[in-house]
């Protein structure tokens, strides 16, 4: 069974290469190889490498060892499980046989995943017992990042190496195990291994692609800043029948506070918010317009959203790719 999305991702990785591309694509497309590719995705996803839960620490190490073996099998060299100052190691591999003067790419992806226990009742099949249904693989990490980021570059490199042996650029692969907890030990790790990891450019294999049959190379991300706001108006729980109307309701205070953060035209009203934000260049605007974004197919449809809403004066793509945004990602209080 061909997993369309996977095939698109692999063809992107192969587009890095020029030599031996046809043979490598033929190998990846060969029906007799489908089962193997699918099975190894299921095997990797079955390892619950949840970085935020201490009880999954052995699984983190198991996933790292699995990837070490997989990279060796692919024909990669200098394969190592490198420890950080924290509990979740980085898996490294390289293939440095390009002609002199060729650039070196560092391919990044992460093998840890988000927990799934809090959504256990929403899964048709258990999150860490992945299966293939309707031409798609289902399990925690099938997408982010094992199926879309970790395996495709390995499989693409393997196909290139097996079909003629030449990868026209130097490639280093770095797979981290703590992205989902904010990579607390990555920066010192990078500093310590600056020589090993030196590259002309980094390709992040984490992130989306445009559609199942359309890969993408991300050139930048917006970054994120998270804050938590708590509002208390009393020192105990307050009964709405006993005290309602006579003391301030904190949920109402929070709603009133939040409602001040956007103008009616959906621009953000927080003082200084846009201070260092560069306007979108004409060139970027033209590029985005030329891309032909299908709002219904690529944004609203998959979300079941009824309308595109956002900052006045910008297209949906400009709002998504360029403009800073202020989002409430969770809200709670009372029952």
Ligand X SMILES: *[C@@H]1O[C@H](CO)[C@@H](O)[C@H](O)[C@H]1NC(C)=O
Kindly tell me which of 126 and 324 has the beta carbon lying closer to ligand X.
Answer: 324
Map residues 227-266 to x or -, x wherever contact with ligand X holds by CB under 6 A.
Answer: ------------------------------------x-x-
Where are any strands of DSSP class E within 111-248? 131-133, 136-138, 170-176, 201-204
Smallest separation (angstroms) from ligand X to the CB of 311: 7
Smallest separation (angstroms) from ligand X to the CB of 225: 22
Smallest separation (angstroms) from ligand X to the CB of 276: 17
CB-based contact 149:206 (threshold 8 Å): yes
Kindly tell me which of 253 and 267 has the beta carbon lying closer to ligand X.
Answer: 267
Kindly tell me which of 244 and 313 has the beta carbon lying closer to ligand X.
Answer: 313
The count of residues interacting with ligand X (CB under 6 A) is 5
Kindly tell me which of 274 and 291 has the beta carbon lying closer to ligand X.
Answer: 274
Rounded to an integer, what distance in angstroms lies between the CA atom of residue 143 and that of residue 130?
12
Pairing status of strand 104-110 against strand 170-176: parallel
Kindly tell me which of 222 and 263 has the beta carbon lying closer to ligand X.
Answer: 263
Kindly tell me which of 180 and 318 has the beta carbon lying closer to ligand X.
Answer: 318
Smallest separation (angstroms) from ligand X to the CB of 265: 4
DSSP three-state, residue 149 = helix
* Cross-strand bridge partners of residue 170: 104
Smallest separation (angstroms) from ligand X to the CB of 263: 4
Kindly tell me which of 117 and 309 has the beta carbon lying closer to ligand X.
Answer: 309
Kindly tell me which of 234 and 269 has the beta carbon lying closer to ligand X.
Answer: 269
CB-based contact 47:62 (threshold 8 Å): yes
Q: Is 313 an interacting residue with respect to ligand X (CB under 6 A)?
A: yes
In this structure, how many other beta carbons lie within 10 angstroms of the beta carbon of residue 88? 26
Smallest separation (angstroms) from ligand X to the CB of 267: 4
In this structure, how many other beta carbons lie within 10 angstroms of the beta carbon of residue 146? 31
The sign one gets for the Cα dihedral 85, 88, 89, 91 is negative
Q: Is 316 an interacting residue with respect to ligand X (CB under 6 A)?
A: no
DSSP 212-265: TTB------------------SSSS---HHHHBTTB--HHHHHHHHHHTTB-TT
Smallest separation (angstroms) from ligand X to the CB of 227: 22
Q: Is 2 an interacting residue with respect to ligand X (CB under 6 A)?
A: no
Q: Which of residues 193-232 bind ligand X (CB under 6 A)?
A: none
Q: Is 312 an interacting residue with respect to ligand X (CB under 6 A)?
A: yes
Taking CA atoms, 91 is separated from 65, 67, 147, 195, 207, in Å, by 8, 7, 16, 16, 19
* ω into 95 cis (within 30 of 0): no
Q: Is 267 an interacting residue with respect to ligand X (CB under 6 A)?
A: yes
Smallest separation (angstroms) from ligand X to the CB of 42: 48
Point out which residues bind ligand X (CB under 6 A): 263, 265, 267, 312-313
């Amino acid at each position: 069974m061909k997993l369309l999305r996977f095939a698109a991702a692999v063809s992107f990785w192969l587009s890095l290469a020029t030599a031996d591309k046809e043979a490598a694509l033929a190998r990846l497309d060969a029906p007799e190889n489908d089962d193997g590719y699918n099975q190894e995705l299921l095997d990797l996803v079955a390892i619950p490498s949840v970085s935020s839960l201490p009880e999954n620490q052995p699984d983190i190490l198991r996933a790292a060892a699995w990837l070490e073996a997989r990279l060796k099998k692919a024909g990669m060299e200098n394969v190592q499980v490198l420890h950080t100052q924290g509990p979740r190691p980085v898996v490294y591999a390289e293939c440095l046989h390009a002609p002199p003067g060729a650039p070196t790419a560092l391919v990044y992806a992460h093998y840890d995943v988000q927990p799934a226990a809090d959504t256990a009742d929403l899964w048709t099949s258990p999150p860490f017992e992945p299966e293939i249904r309707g031409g798609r693989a289902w399990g925690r990490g099938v997408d982010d990042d094992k199926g879309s980021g970790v395996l495709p570059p390995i499989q693409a490199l393997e196909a290139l190496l097996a079909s003629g042996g030449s990868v026209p650029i130097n490639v280093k692969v770095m797979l981290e195990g703590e992205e989902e907890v904010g990579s607390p030990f990555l920066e010192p790790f990078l500093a310590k291994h600056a020589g090993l990891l030196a590259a002309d450019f980094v390709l992040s294999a984490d992130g989306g692609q445009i559609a199942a049959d359309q890969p993408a190379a991300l050139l930048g991300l917006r970054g994120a800043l998270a804050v938590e706001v708590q509002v208390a108006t009393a020192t105990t729980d307050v009964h709405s029948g006993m005290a309602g109307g006579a003391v301030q309701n904190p949920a109402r205070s929070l709603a009133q506070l939040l409602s001040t953060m956007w103008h009616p035209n959906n621009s953000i009203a927080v003082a200084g918010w846009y201070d260092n934000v560069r306007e979108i260049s004409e060139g970027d605007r033209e590029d985005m317009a030329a891309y032909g974004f299908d709002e219904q197919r690529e944004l609203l449809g998959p979300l079941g959203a009824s309308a595109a809403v956002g900052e006045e004066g910008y297209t949906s793509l400009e709002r998504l790719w360029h403009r800073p945004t202020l989002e409430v990602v969770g809200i709670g209080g009372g029952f």
